[in-house]
Amino acid sequence: MVTRREALVTTAAVAGGAALLTPGRASAQAAGNRTWETSYSGSKQPASVPPGQPGKDYQPVITPNGAALPWKVVDGVKVYHLIAEEVEHEMAPGLKARCWGYNGRVHGPTIEAVEGDRVRIYVTNKLAAPTSVHWHGIFLPNGMDGVAGLNQRAIRNGETYKYEFTLRQHGTFMYHSHHDEMTQMAMGMMGMIVIHPRRPTADYKVDRDFAIMLSEWRIEPGTMRPNPNEMNDFNVLTMNAKAFPGTEPLVVKTGDRVRVRFGNLSAMDHHPIHLHGYYFKVTGTDGGRVPVPAQRPETTVLVSVGSTRDIEFIADAPGDWAFHCHMTHHVMNQMGHDIPNMIGVKGGGIDKRVQPLLPAYMTMGQEGMGDMAEMGMPVPKNSIPMVGAKGPYDYITMGGMFTLLKVRSGLTSYADPGWYEHPPGERADLASQAELQRDGIQVPS
């Protein structure tokens, strides 16, 4: 364990080194922080307590469908080990892909630490290609920034590099490959970084704290390799590398204070993430925490490529609430893209004429794609139609960047509680003749 004095010395030495390297930036930060520091955050102050322990000096973040990167303390430094490697990963039931990730995961595990921590991150490259890791949004010495060629030599197959710096800020950040980025990020090489404040203000504390990375992929139906050369037509849109119905729900208790941290390292798209049934406040960006008076209410938060956004709300409305990207093509899975427009086509005669040649042939899509999802459109092996999932009342015709916020009273665990049972009178239902008559509603014949 580090002593209070050691922590102070280490932090001051590194902060001083960075200031010497970039005097303009350091002094601008100092000036810019003055008002926030006094009124709001402990950011940039040296650490005065030993490095954090999960659950002791911070509420650990939950990465749905993911995991936290383990660490140990060696002589007061938090030591982590990332291993870049090929990983076979299931995007959604029925679709596996051969990706590149870290420590057997796609995306990589979430790195979690506390402001003031000295961190040492080893990166071993088990890929055939060279790689490097960039710590996106983190204040660090220039030589630790991870841009291959510019700040360091790329890490070759079999090599282990060491990155070391002191965390002088708090918030939600990301890491990703910075060598042949177009290829390596499209293959999955990214993850989230969460740095908790050393001295959290009262408004920082939440009961449930989630981290979700948004990304997008092109995987030709029937194949397993993401195509990094795709520029526009992404057909698998994911939250923590899972497309619905592969996404784990966010389970919370009624009354919980909830934070969701989004990062977006998609190749080409921004994602407006919409939560049903609530408004939330945007409380953080990768520039840090938003001062309380500036935390504006929203129902949709635009998470641009290369940025993070934190949102917070109090889960006061029980139910199963949709939580998804509002770009309609981003809640559609693989085979739902690139099919001919069949809306309004009368297919009966075509089927009769084609079936003697192709017995399995069936014209689909005349009423849109909802039926196709439910009927199970025939698709090549290892591919998914627009898909969705069987819901409690009907088929849920959403895929891709879609998950559920499940809010329940009286939970004894945060395991998936199943579908919400609506209280009597609190669910849309077929109108009765008596109700139509009472309200004078004329139904066109």
Contact residues toward Cu ion (CB under 5 A) are: 271, 325, 327, 330
Smallest distance, Cu ion to C-beta of residue 269, A = 6
Smallest distance, Cu ion to C-beta of residue 265, A = 13
DSSP 275-303: ETT--EEEEEETTEEPPGGG--EESEEEE
Distance CA 106, CA 87 (A): 7
Distance of CA 437 to the CA centre of its chain: 49
Our CB check for Cu ion shows the closer of 118 and 218 to be 218
Q: How many CA atoms lie within 13 A of 256 on its CB side?
A: 22
Q: What per-residue string of b and e applies to 320-331 under the rule 16 or more CB within 10 Å gives b?
A: bbbbbbebeebb
Our CB check for Cu ion shows the closer of 298 and 374 to be 298
Contacts of 245 (CB under 8 A, 6+ apart): 92, 93, 387, 388, 389, 396, 399
Packing angle, helices 23-39 and 4-21, rounded to 10: 130
Our CB check for Cu ion shows the closer of 268 and 350 to be 268
Reduce the DSSP state of residue 187 to 3 states and report it.
Answer: coil
Cβ atoms of 300 and 326 closer than 8 Å = yes
Distance CA 367, CA 32 (A): 57
Distance CA 260, CA 262 (A): 6
Our CB check for Cu ion shows the closer of 288 and 388 to be 388
Smallest distance, Cu ion to C-beta of residue 325, A = 3
Smallest distance, Cu ion to C-beta of residue 305, A = 10
Smallest distance, Cu ion to C-beta of residue 373, A = 19
Q: What is the dihedral of CA 36, 39, 41, 42, to 10 degrees?
A: 110
Bridge partners (DSSP) listed for residue 429: none
Our CB check for Cu ion shows the closer of 127 and 331 to be 331
Our CB check for Cu ion shows the closer of 259 and 271 to be 271
Smallest distance, Cu ion to C-beta of residue 268, A = 11
Our CB check for Cu ion shows the closer of 178 and 330 to be 330
Smallest distance, Cu ion to C-beta of residue 29, A = 33
Euclidean distance between the first and the last CA atom of the chain, given in angstroms as a whole number: 78
Contacts of 250 (CB under 8 A, 6+ apart): 64, 208, 210, 258, 260, 323, 403, 404, 405, 406
Smallest distance, Cu ion to C-beta of residue 87, A = 24
Smallest distance, Cu ion to C-beta of residue 217, A = 13
Q: What per-residue string of b and e applies to 196-218 under the rule 16 or more CB within 10 Å gives b?
A: bbbbbeeebebebbbbbbbbbbb
Our CB check for Cu ion shows the closer of 180 and 269 to be 269
